[in-house]
């Protein structure tokens, strides 16, 4: 299953670099997104390094999820594909 990294988790003043908001293809409701909680995610960098994380919760009502990664994610990860296992 694949998804797209949409943004960092953020508020008005700060952003959390190891929390990412992910939009999953084919999921458009909060109820469907709840089934993904607990699954692992992997992002491959352009240098073929893998950054691993885990889906922690849903985000909003349109099926986005929030993933927590082991390390901070770079800004170049925004808009790229991510693999959900």
DSSP string for residues in 1-65 = -EEEEEEEEE-SS-EEEEEEEEEETT--SHHHHGGGTT-EEEEE-TTS-EEEEEEEEEETTTTEE
Q: How far is CA 10 from CA 31, 35, 67, in A?
A: 23, 24, 13
Q: Which domains does the chain have, with CATH numbers?
A: 2-84 (2.40.10.190)
For the stretch 20-31, pLDDT in tens is: 999 999 999 999
Tens of pLDDT along 41-71?
A: 999 999 999 999 999 999 999 999 999 999 9
Q: How confident is the model at residue 14 (pLDDT cuts 50, 70, 90)?
A: very high
DSSP at 79? T
């Amino acid at each position: 299953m694949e998804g797209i990294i949409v943004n960092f988790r953020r508020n008005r003043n700060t952003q959390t670099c190891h929390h990412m908001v992910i939009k999953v293809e084919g999921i458009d409701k909060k109820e469907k997104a709840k089934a993904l909680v607990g699954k692992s995610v992997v992002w491959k960098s352009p240098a073929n390094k893998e950054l691993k994380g885990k889906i922690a919760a849903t985000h909003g009502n349109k099926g986005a999820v929030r993933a927590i990664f082991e390390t901070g994610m770079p800004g170049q990860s925004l808009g790229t594909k991510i693999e959900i296992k």
